Structure formats: C-alpha cells, structure tokens
Amino acid sequence: MFAVTRIVFLLLIGTSIDKALLANEPDSVYLFAYTTIKDKGRSGLHFAWSADRKKWNLVGNEYGYVKCDYGPWGEEKQMHTPYLFQNANGEWQCIWSLDETINQFAYVASANLVTWNSQRYPYLKKELTFRQPVVQYDKSSRQYTITFISGDKYYKINTIDFKTYDEAVAIPASAYKDDRITVTLPAGAVTGNVSKVAWSVVNKLTETATLKGYEYNQTRESFQNDSIRFAPLRSISATVTPDPEKRKPISDLLIGVFFEDINYAADGGLYAELLQNRDFEYTPADRKNRDSSWNSKHSWTTSGANLHFTIDSTTPLHINNAHYAVLNVQQPGSALINSGYDGIPLKKGDAYDCSLFVKNSDGKSRNLLVKLVNADGSILAQATIKTGSQQWKKYTTSLIAAADAKDARFELQPLSTGSVLLDMISLFPEKTFKNRKNGLRADLAETVAAIHPRFIRFPGGCLAHGDGVDNIYRWKNTIGPIEARKPQPNIWRYHQTVGLGYFEYFQYCEDIGATPLPVLAAGVPCQNSGLGANGFGQQGGIPMNEMDQYVQEILDLVEWANGPVTSKWGKLRAEAGHPAPFNLKYIGVGNEDLITDLFSERFTLIYNALKQQHPEITVIGTVGPFHDGSDYEQGWALASQLKVPMVDEHYYESPGWFINNPDFYDSYDRNKPKVYLGEYASHGNTLFNALAEALYLTNIERNGDVVHMASYAPLLAREKHTQWNPDLIYFNNTEVKPTVNYEVQKLFGNNAGTEYLPSVLTLSKEDEAVRKRLGISIVRDTTDGSIIVKLVNLLPVATSLKLDLTKLAPGSKAERTLLNGKPADRQNPVTVTTVAIGNVLEDTLLPYSFTVWKIHK
Ligand code: AHR
C-alpha cells in the first residue's frame, strides 16, 4: 500500500520529497512467483508482491523475467509449475516442469532475479515424468531435496549443487508438502510459491520491466506516424566538421556475407544442379516424417505403363549414397522423369552436361535415351548414352537446348527391356560461375559477388550445428567425388546433397576475393534441436569420449585448407584440383549455442587445440542468438576468460531497435574479444528497413576497430520455398531479385574504408529523435587514398548538409550515389552521378535516403 501511495503521491507532487517518502518503504514483502497456464508458460516467470499475503500487486505487468528455453522453436519452450527459492548462499534458484510428459525438468539460477544463468535440463529415470516440484534444504547434510509428482506417485531426488542428482526414489504422499498458494490477480487466479524479499528486490524488478517496456516501445518506432511525429520539422540543416587527427584504423574485412543452406539457397539455389533428388537419397527424416511424399522417389515420376520404377539399396554405388533407382522395362517407350526445382530452366544454345551412374545388373548392354522436354512436349535436346557395364560406371553426354524454356523436364528412356540400376543422375549447365565443374549458378553467384564481400561465412547458422548430434555438419562428408559425399537432412526440413561442399565454398571465396570463414559446431547441435533419441535431449553434445576425434576433424580442416600437398589432407585438396593453399585464417566455432556447461567444456577443448596447434587461425566464438540475455552474457564471459580473439553476435530486430541503438558498440571494451556481427537484419524488406540497416552500419563503421566483420542474414531465398523472411536476395529459376536491403549492403561493400575519420555533426535543431534518424560515417580507403562519406537520412524531411573537407585534403572529383524513395517502397533505383568537388561538400539529403560520396584522391 505504502508503495502505491508513494507512486501516486510522486505523480502528484513530483520527486522533490522522494527522500522523505523512502522512509515509508517496507523492509520486506512477499514475492509470489508464477507462470500462466493460458500460454503453457511460454511467457515465462512472472511476479506479484504483497505486504500481507492477501492483496497481491503485479510486478512489471506480467513481464517474463525468465523464459523456458527447452526444445524446438514454438512447440516447446514451456514452463509449468515453477518453484522459486534461494539456496544456502542466498542465490535464487528456479525449478519447473517442462511439459509433464518427459523425464526431464528445468533448473536455472540467478543472483538477482533479473539476469539469469544458463538453464539446465537434468534427466530422470526413463519411466518418470516431473510435475509440481517443491524444494527443501537440509542444513546439516547441506543437501537439497526436490519432491515432485510423476503420474499419481510422489518422488524425491537429492542434490547438493544442482549439477549432479541422486536417483529419484518414491516417497509416500504424506512426505510431499506443496506450499504453493493460489492468489487472485487482475488476470484471474494463479498458483505459485511465495518467498520473502527485501523491498529493493521488488523495486529492481519493477525498474527492469519498466526499462524493458521503454525499450520495447523504441523497437516499435516506424515510419507510419513520421508525418505527425516530425510535423514541426520543415527542414533541417546539418554541419559536419571532420576531425581527422582522431582517425583510427578500422577492419578491412567489415562487410561480408553469410551463406546458409536455408530457403533452398544451396540445392535448388546457388548450386547449379538442375535435377532434384538426383541421388535418390531424399528421406522422410528430412521432413521429420511429416510428409509422406518426401521419400527416395521424390521429384521422380514415370511415363507409360511399361516401366516399373523401384528404389533399392542392396548394391550401392557408395556406402554414403545407399539408394538408387531400379528400372524394369517390359516394353521400351516409357521414361523416368525429373522436373527439377519447379521445372528446369534452359537457355537456347547453351550446353548442359548430363551424367549418371549405370549398372546393367542383368548383364545386357543397353542404350539410354536422355531428353530435355519443354512443357508443351517439344523436345529441346536429346542424346543416346550407350551403357555396357555390369558394375556401377559413370556415363556422360552433353545436351544443347534448342530453345529457351522456363520449366522443362528431363526424361530418361531405356531403349531395351530388362533391369537397369541408376544413380546420381545429374544435369548441370556448362556455363556456371567462372565455368567451374560442379559449380555455382552464375547469376546468383555474380549477384552475391557484386556486394564485394570481404568474407563469406558458410555453410550456416543452424545448418552448421544441425538438428541433433547426428545431424551436425561434418566437413569431411562434403568433399571428394560427389557420389561419395554424404547427404543428410537439412535442419530447415529439406535435403542437402552437399554437392555444394567445402571445396566449392572455398573455391567460390577465392573466385570473388573473399576470406573464407567456415563455421563448425562446437561439439553441440542447434539449441532448437528436436529432442534427442540418444538420451541427450535439447541441445545435447558429442559424447566426451568422442570429442578428441571431433577436435581432430577441426584440426584436419586447417591442414586440408592450408597444408602442403604432401600432407594427408592437403593432398586431397590438391587432388580435387587446388594444389595451392586456400589461405584459411578464420574458423567460427559454434553458432548461437546455449552457453551451458556441456557447451563450455566442448568449446574449450576445441579452442585450446586450435590455439595450440594453429595459432595462426583466428577462432571466433559464439554469444547466443540475441544482443542480451544469459547466452550473450555468459558467452561473453567465457570468451573473455579464454581470451578468444573474436565472438559472433546475432540479432534480428525491428528497424526501431537499429535506430535507437546507435551507440551499441561505442562502450564495448576494446581489450576484450573483437566482434563479428555474424547475423543481423531488421524485420523487413522495405526502404525504411534498409535505411535503418544503413544507419546502423554507419555506427558499425565508427566502431570498426571493435567490430571486425558484419554480415546480413539470411542471404538467399528461393521464392515459394522460404523458411525465413526477410532475406537479402530472392530468386526463382530464371530471375534474381535483390532487395533494397541488398542495395545497402552493396553500397557499403563497394565503399569500404580502412580508416575511420571522426567528425562533429551540428544540427539546426538539436533533438534526440531527429539526431537518431541521421547517420554519417567518413572513412578513408588507404589503398587508393579516396575518402568516402556515407549519409543516411531517415527523416521525412530533407536535410541540407555542409561538410568542410579542408582538413581531409580531397581530390576534385567525386561520385555521388543515391538511394531514396518512399519508406514503404520495396524497390528503389540507385543513381550514380559524377560531380566536381571543392573544399566544402554541400548536399541536400532527400527524405528517406542513403547518399554515398566517393571522393577520389
Ligand atoms: O539466419 C537464419 C538463422 O538464424 C540461422 O541459421 C541461425 O544461426 C539464426 O537463428
């Protein structure tokens, strides 16, 4: 009551008598911890307080102070029957039931109820479930006892540290004493448990929720009400005074790309193969057994009635590629058909390499007619392949398209009766990027290259650490002859042939002058993995007794990429066609993993081994999926403690967040690990989103001494096959559709500098909201002496700008590149003009615009 009185009073008369009122604060109150069943506890742990245990007041308006992080996206993440208590040292602990059907529970600790450590999900015996935990502490044995309900029985487990637990034992119902109470809150009756806390705890919780609410409101900033919000602002003038004396070197690798095989970015995307399921390795597991059409026959059909098409695996071409097609021909004339990814696109006059492995198990030689057939049935190309081998043998032919086609199909017709086995049936355009065999789709590869990325991170994100331990991306499975590579389910619920494998990634990096940045799992799979059948569940990890082997696999990668041709792994690289080293300098270890003990143990092993054996490699650690929270904090703590040179930060946010956090890196400790902002994007593909990203990138350039690299995510998305939106570049079979966000990346990539030149910005109207909508960054490219000025105006009004160049000693010629339009636009032209320049740069920054001045020396 006193607190409420105080707030009302303060509202009425201001804060001047704050001190006097503090005396009215209670020493302690009751804190009620609960979660709501309406959303299965997904909104986390809430609090209410009371002075008398009768009248309860919400704390932070049902803010979720800690949320369950268990299980796959969306489906799990449930918190049931939480029990909050303090341990013997006064540290807060919370235990809850996950979903009352599994033999695990959740545990988390916190020093202050505001920041929370990593969650743990201990296991119980298989037959047990876990509900309504109650925790008691026995001082004499220094032991905690968790009593809980499983089915209709009662159990207890003891622990001294919440890391190791004794086996659960049954107890009589009378020994289970639930002290939860049910109270009435504005939203209705809820059940939870009560602790006694100092009033300052409630104050801190309230303050936290208020701040989060304020930040949340900032994230909602958009252009929708700009005309009202900025109505008094008719125009604004800005004066920029550079201070080159204070210049500082910045990273020369700042803008790069992050390629992940998501949204069909690899198979059906950048990887130029035109046939889908060429290896007959699609498996129901790719789709978690939720799609009955997703099997070894997917994408293949037959025509005519005299062809029997089955799948077998008894005499495989390679152990990694077990399935193959068996065609039994009663009467020639029927065909096996593949329509690629939404049809096969062809260009008139272009050559297409057709290859396949054939085994004539019936001992007969036979001809196979292969055709490219247009949607209207017209034949665009055909060739006959003569096969005679009774063992698996590769055959090839070239097909030249007689006309353009958007959605042709591939047909294969055995010309004699009997049984023939087929595998790895491939159709590849001869014209790939740089005409590489097994190469990349040229238009997509060129569009990415046009960003002028200084590095490429690959092969993912979540894909890299995979859906469970068995799905971790293992680089060794992705090199060598394609028929010997090991395809596997893609965490994004499709199939990865790994035809685009490590060799191809490194080759592409080299082809476009980008530094390769492979990211490897830290011995743990994706934090959103399904529940493991191997007893690990949630994230799990490679068993410690297999970790030496896994660590060796990572060390072998360095030898494969950089070792001499005489080395075991360097030899394989040379045999694949690249005797020269690939010049690998960076390795990412982990991808936004939960920073658990399990993770830390494995990461430390890998990191120490790399540091010891390859000090020339910069290891990039991981600090969770957000710019705050427990994984961020603990990831940073671990990386700082181990002195990892760099960490990978990820955040997907609203434009409002990017606008309102211009100083995010300004106060980063320069003595701590450097930052790789490996994944970021504002939620959308409008000009407003793109400009918010541009604005943020000007701040990143200012912090280019601590932020070493940055990459937007995700990069590629096949239309109608996306698992994630927004993306940077959309495509279909015949078109590439870069977004306006892409234009921003391209402008930054092509206008990078190596030195940041600080400047002072003076506005005709000083106002925080206005200032936050203006971005400026001046850099010098020391390789050619050019000065680049980037100017972002996210205001609905023009800004006239004057920039004094005298101290920068510029040349007299400049290019001015402009991207502007209406904030909701999705496509905006970029115009470039060449302009003579003097000692003062004067420009009118249009509303919602990004202007880049490149002043040549
Ligand atoms: O970029 C898409 C996904 O976002 C990445 O796979 C993952 O790292 C992040 O959660």
Phi, psi of 137 (to 5 degrees): -115, 135
| Amino acid 99: pLDDT | 82
Alpha carbon distance, N-terminus to C-terminus of the chain: 70
Q: Within a 10 A sphere around the Cβ of 800, how many other Cβ atoms?
A: 14
E-only strand ranges, 315-454:
324-329, 335-338, 344-346, 351-359, 366-373, 379-387, 393-400, 405-414, 418-429
The verdict on whether 411 is a catalytic residue reads no
CA 806 to CA 242: how far, in whole Å?
A: 9
Whether residue 701 is found in the same domain as residue 837? no
The pLDDT score that the predictor gives to residue 533 is: 43
Let me know whether 683 and 781 are in one domain: no
CA distance 275 to 733: 12
Question: Does 260 fall in a domain?
Answer: yes
Domain match, 243 and 260 both: no
Confirm whether 625 is domain-assigned.
yes
Count the domains in the chain: 4
Is the domain of 406 the same as that of 504?
A: no
Q: What is the spatial distance between Cα 851 and Cα 569, in angstroms, rounded to a whole number?
A: 48
Question: For residue 642, what is the enclosing H or E element?
Answer: helix 630-642
* Domain identity same for 320 and 413: yes
Q: Which atom of ligand 1 is nearest to the CA of 592?
A: 8
Report which DSSP code applies to 255.
B
Q: Is the pLDDT of residue 22 over 70?
A: no
User: Atom 7 in ligand 1: which residue has the minimum CA distance?
Assistant: 461
Encoded amino acid at 383, one letter = A
**723 and 814 assigned to the same domain:** no
Ligand 1 atom nearest residue 724's Cα: 2
Tell me the CA–centroid distance for residue 72 and ligand 1, in Å.
13
- 677 Cα to the center of ligand 1, angstroms: 12
Any domain includes 317 = yes
Q: Which of 72-76, 294-298, 620-624 has the lowest mean pLDDT?
A: 72-76
How remote is the CA of residue 464 from the centroid of ligand 1, in Å? Answer: 10
440: in domain: no
> Residue 358 sits in a domain of what CATH number?
2.60.120.260
Backbone angles phi, psi at 32, to 5 degrees: -105, 125
Give the 3-state secondary structure of 396-409.
EEEEECCCCEEEEE
Q: Three-state DSSP class for 569?
A: helix
pLDDT bracket for residue 499 (50, 70, 90) = very high
Share of the chain above pLDDT 70, in %: 96
Mean pLDDT of 527-542: 64
Atom of ligand 1 nearest to the CA of 491: 6
Q: So what's the pLDDT on residue 2?
A: 34
Same domain, 427 and 451: no
Domain of residue 482: give its range: 255-268+445-752
In a domain, 436, yes or no: no
Listing DSSP states for 769-786 in one string gives HHHHTEEEEEEEETTTTE
* Mean pLDDT value of segment 85-105: 93
**Would residue 439 count as lying in a domain?**
no
> What pLDDT does 669 receive?
97
Whether the bond between 726 and the residue before it is cis, its omega within 30 degrees of 0, is: yes
pLDDT (0 to 100) of residue 4 = 37
The pLDDT value given to residue 288: 87
Residues with CB under 6 A from ligand 1: 260, 262, 460-462, 591-592, 625, 650, 679, 713-714, 724
Identity of the residue numbered 613: Q
In this prediction, residue 20 carries a pLDDT of 40
Say if strands 840-845 and 799-804 run parallel, antiparallel, or are unpaired.
antiparallel
The single residue of 76, 592, 653, 679 carrying the catalytic annotation is 592
Do residue 175 and residue 131 come from a single domain?
yes
Q: Which atom of ligand 1 is nearest to the CA of 462?
A: 6
* Structural tokens at position 634: 């603990």
**What pLDDT score was predicted for residue 38?**
84
Domain ends where: 400, 431, 462?
A: 431
User: Which one of 752, 785, 817 terminates a domain?
Assistant: 752
- Measured by CA distance, the residue closest to atom 1 of ligand 1 is 714
User: Which one, of 847, 805, 849, lies nearest residue 831 by Cα?
Assistant: 849
Rounded to 5 degrees, φ, ψ at 585 are: -125, -20
Q: What is the mean pLDDT of residues 185-202?
A: 95
Same domain, yes or no: 246 and 305 = no
Do 206 and 331 sit in the same domain of this protein? Answer: no
Mean pLDDT on 183-204: 95
Query: What tokens were used for 411?
Result: 């047909």
Query: Looking at residue 530, what is its pLDDT?
Result: 64
pLDDT band at 18 (very low <50, low <70, confident <90, very high): very low
Nearest CA to ligand 1 atom 9: 461
Q: How far, in Å, CA of 696 to CA of 657, rounded?
A: 10
Distance 526 CA to ligand 1 centre (A): 10
**Dist. CA 588 → ligand 1 center (Å):** 14
Q: What kind and span of H or E run contains 214?
A: helix 199-219
Residue 765 is predicted with a pLDDT of 84
Best mutation site among 257, 260, 524 for ligand 1 pocket (most ligand atoms within 8 Å of CB): 260
The residue ranges of DSSP E strands in 609-692, in sequence order, are 618-622, 646-653, 674-682
Interstrand relation of 840-845 and 105-110 (parallel, antiparallel or unpaired) = unpaired
Average pLDDT on 434-454 reads 98
What average pLDDT does the structure give for the chain? 94
Q: Are residues 620 and 483 in the same domain?
A: yes
Residue 163 lies in a domain: yes
Domain of 534, CATH number, reads: 3.20.20.80
Q: Say whether both 63 and 141 belong to one domain.
A: yes
pLDDT of residue 72: 76
pLDDT beyond 90 at 235: no
Last residue of a domain, one of 752, 787, 805: 752
**pLDDT-derived band of residue 531, with 50, 70 and 90 as boundaries?**
low
List pLDDT tens digits, range 250-287. 999 999 999 999 999 999 999 999 999 999 999 999 99
In a domain, 322, yes or no: yes
Ligand 1 centre and the CA of 461: distance in Å? 5
CATH number at residue 769: 2.60.40.1180
Q: What is the pLDDT of residues 48-82, one digit of tens each?
A: 999 999 999 999 999 999 999 888 776 678 999 99
